[in-house]
Structure 1
Amino acid sequence: MTEPLLAPRANPRLLGHEAAEAAFLDAFRAGRLPHAWLITGPSGIGKATFAHRVARFLMAGGRPDAAGLDLPLEHPTFRRAAAGGHADLLTIERNNGDDERKRRSREIPVEEIRRIDPFLRLTAAEGAWRAVIVDEAEAMNRNGANALLKILEEPPARAILLLTCGNPGALLPTIRSRCRHLALEPLPDATVDRLLAEHAPELDPADRAALVRLAEGSIGRATSLLEEGGLGLYRDMVALLDDFPRVDFRAVHKMGDRIGPVAAESSWRLFTELLVWWMARLARAAARGTEPPEIVAGEGTVMQRVVGAVGRAGGLDRWVELWDNTRRLFAQADGSNLDRKQVLLQAFIGIERACNS
């Protein structure tokens, strides 16, 4: 039976980021703890979980002689923070969507960021620290970023801001310069495999291995792919290219009927993400003069055909251009009311033409 994945605020475990915890503890023990931290890295590797661990540690009156950031599950600070009821913790994040597609909001509005300053100016309710976590800080709009910058310029005492961010380049340089940067690395495959086995012990070992390779060091991505049928969609995507450099457009039509409707929103999003990711993965491997490892059976043959066709049709530059055009096409469809089936057909027509010209 698949075990539910704990939300970051309620997750007592963090594997694979021991170096980051040690760096934080070194700063804390030295008595020179920066008031703002920028925690970066790919999606789904534990950035928010790390931020909540730091917040709990400080709110519980963290001791310099502590061996780590762990708090026992029965600790009052852990229990209240996990339930979202700790008076000294404020979490800012994108809202869950309330439209028919159940999308999360694209931005963190400025009104949310303006909650931070009055919160931090209060005295800690339990006499320790006040903590603010801004999850996916790159989602702040321009006004929100400027509002946060003012807070960073005049930080109150015994207060800490923890910004998680998957794309630090999207933040204002002045925000980045006022934060201690802590980069979290993708998890080792062995760690993702272990966590995935715990999350879904019934999963076939071959399927688990394929999900680990697709996840690229992100347990969040691995579990999302599992729960949304991503591995099956990936196999279907590879099958569409089985006769490459020719494309079976009858099969593409059927796929469009399957994932094009609004009701299949999650499948559309996942399929298009996987196709763009696959194209980028192949480009990176070609640039290194290697071939990426096979994820599902038969994929190696498809990749060899693609690499051969790309080489005959203009090489790596042509494939990178095709990847960028495909990515833009799907982004355009995502932001408008374009017929998704036609968009999918257009994408595969572009792939076939680029590799047969």
Structure 2
Amino acid sequence: MTEIAHPRDVLDLIGHAQAQRDFLDAWTSGRMAHAWLLTGPKGIGKATLAYRIARFVLSGGGEGGVLFGGPPDTLAISASHPVVHQVSAQGHRDLKVVERGFTDDKKTKMRTEIVIDDVRKIGDLFHQTADAGWRVVLIDAADEMNRNAANAVLKILEEPPTKALILMVSHSPGRLLPTIRSRCRRLALNPLPQETICQLLARNRPDLTDAELTALANLGEGSLGKALALAAEGGLDLYRDLIGLLSALPRLDVPALHGFAERVGKNDADTAWRTVTELTVWWLARLVRAGGRQGRGMAEVVPGEAALMARLLAAASLDRWLDLWEKTGALFARTDAVNLDRKQALLTAFLAVERLPRA
């Protein structure tokens, strides 16, 4: 299995041509915004684009600046450029990457949020003289900043140093302070087309069949990161198991359900638990969306899925399925938050699906 490359090591970026063009136009116009907010669903290439922009700027705007007497027409720089190696090795002195830190010295567990100590490195960068004229900060992801960290970043945005560029990756920009959003220029990235996801999946996972590539692309919904994670975690097989259980409705196969919940709910099955709960909530949301569109435009991940949804939607009103989706998400979140019994939580969720048409 091919290891998934970190965005700082990825030089090629497929898609998002308009976002790249928008940044280049700003660069060549000489009216560069000092802060950029890269938005869109998780896993579609926002961090990859942020690192691509950082390398471009730190290299002086392409291969040493203006090419052949004219402005650069691409953000790409040569793989042999020193900046590429410095960024990949996390050793470029004019680039600071702000991410969630670790809770312990052994670096075994990451914090759940970006704290003010993680943000202080920005001040260290801006108090030093830049090697290449520009200093770049990359925050991945800005949504994860707590209030103190966000306020510290806001102070920098209010009085940015000269030739300072702040790139903020954001999966959910609505979670950011409005005053931060208002001080950034937004680059909105859209989900990738299915054919592009299949192409990139095949490049990273040549062991997958065409049918598996298509199914994972549908599960990923335009996010290569999500599709790759599901492939690595056995998400497609777990999804097939999930749909197989639901296909027995209106009466669940209780022994099969108990076996599934026992396997996924084990204390040492964290990955399977996370994958199944996320897929369950996602499938219920998909069911609600299908009901709102009367099933139009929904691509099946596994055969028979559309017929199953149609049967369930005919058995209960859309608002009741919407309520169940919200309650299921809350149940799984509460199970994680206070360490409830995972098996029992899964049983409760699936049995609620069975009971809904009869309630």
Q: TM-score range by the shorter chain?
A: over 0.9
Which of 143, 146, 149 is matched with 1:141 structurally? 146
Residue 187 of structure 2 aligns to a residue whose secondary structure is strand
Are residues 21 and 166 of structure 1, via their aligned partners in 2, closer, same or farther at CA, if it must alter by over 3 Å?
A: same
Equivalent-residue separation in structure 2 for 1:73 and 1:205 (angstroms): 31
Which of 169, 189, 192 is matched with 1:164 structurally? 169
Counterpart AA for 2:312: V
Q: Is the 8 A contact 1:60 1:128 kept in 2?
A: no
Counterpart AA for 2:3: P
Q: Structure 1: 5+ residue runs without aligned partners?
A: none
Query: Residue in 2 aligned with 1:320?
Result: 322
Which of 194, 202, 206 is matched with 2:199 structurally? 194
Residue 239 of structure 1 aligns to a residue whose secondary structure is helix
Instruction: Tell me the C-alpha RMSD between the 2 structures.
Output: 1.7
Q: Is the 8 A contact 2:262 2:343 kept in 1?
A: yes
Which of 74, 87, 108 is matched with 1:68 structurally? 74
Q: Is the 8 A contact 2:154 2:179 kept in 1?
A: yes
Query: Residue in 1 aligned with 2:215?
Result: 210
Equivalent-residue separation in structure 1 for 2:104 and 2:118 (angstroms): 18
Equivalent-residue separation in structure 2 for 1:4 and 1:349 (angstroms): 38
Shift of 1:128: 2.3
Residue 96 of structure 2 aligns to a residue whose secondary structure is strand
What CA deviation, in whole Å up to 9, does each residue of 1:99-127 have, x standing for no partner?
9xx76431011111122123123211x23
Equivalent-residue separation in structure 2 for 1:123 and 1:262 (angstroms): 50
Q: Is the 8 A contact 1:245 1:305 kept in 2?
A: no
- Alignment pair present for 1:306 and 2:306: no
Shift of 1:244: 1.2
Q: Is the 8 A contact 2:134 2:165 kept in 1?
A: yes
Equivalent-residue separation in structure 1 for 2:223 and 2:211 (angstroms): 18
Larger displacement relative to structure 2 (151-160 or 284-293): 284-293
1:100-179 to 2 correspondence within 5 Å? 104-124=110-130, 126-179=131-184
Residue 84 of structure 1 aligns to a residue whose secondary structure is coil
Query: Residue in 2 aligned with 1:40?
Result: 39
- Alignment pair present for 1:275 and 2:284: no
Identity value in percent: 48
Shift of 1:4: 2.2
Residue 262 of structure 1 aligns to a residue whose secondary structure is coil
Query: Residue in 1 aligned with 2:18?
Result: 19
Which of 225, 230, 242 is matched with 2:230 structurally? 225
Which of 90, 96, 110 is matched with 2:96 structurally? 90
Shift of 1:85: 0.7
Equivalent-residue separation in structure 1 for 2:327 and 2:158 (angstroms): 41
Residue 335 of structure 1 aligns to a residue whose secondary structure is helix
Equivalent-residue separation in structure 1 for 2:104 and 2:290 (angstroms): 40
Residue 134 of structure 1 aligns to a residue whose secondary structure is strand
- The number of residue pairs the alignment matches comes to 350
Residue 15 of structure 2 aligns to a residue whose secondary structure is coil
Q: Is the 8 A contact 1:58 1:128 kept in 2?
A: no
Which of 289, 296, 300 is matched with 2:294 structurally? 289
Counterpart AA for 1:243: A
What CA deviation, in whole Å up to 9, does each residue of 1:109-165 have, x standing for no partner?
1111122123123211x2321100000110000111111110100100011000001
What CA deviation, in whole Å up to 9, does each residue of 1:266-296 have, x standing for no partner?
0000000001001101111211222522111
Equivalent-residue separation in structure 1 for 2:309 and 2:206 (angstroms): 31
Shift of 1:307: 1.7
Residue 269 of structure 2 aligns to a residue whose secondary structure is helix
Which of 253, 260, 265 is matched with 2:265 structurally? 260
Query: Residue in 1 aligned with 2:84?
Result: 78
Counterpart AA for 1:228: E
TM-score (ref. length: structure 2): 0.94
Q: Is the 8 A contact 2:39 2:172 kept in 1?
A: yes
Q: Structure 2: 5+ residue runs without aligned partners?
A: none
Shift of 1:95: 3.6
Equivalent-residue separation in structure 2 for 1:324 and 1:128 (angstroms): 50
Counterpart AA for 1:140: M
Counterpart AA for 1:331: A
Counterpart AA for 2:202: A
Equivalent-residue separation in structure 2 for 1:207 and 1:167 (angstroms): 29
Shift of 1:96: 6.1
Q: Is the 8 A contact 1:20 1:184 kept in 2?
A: yes
Query: Residue in 2 aligned with 1:51?
Result: 50
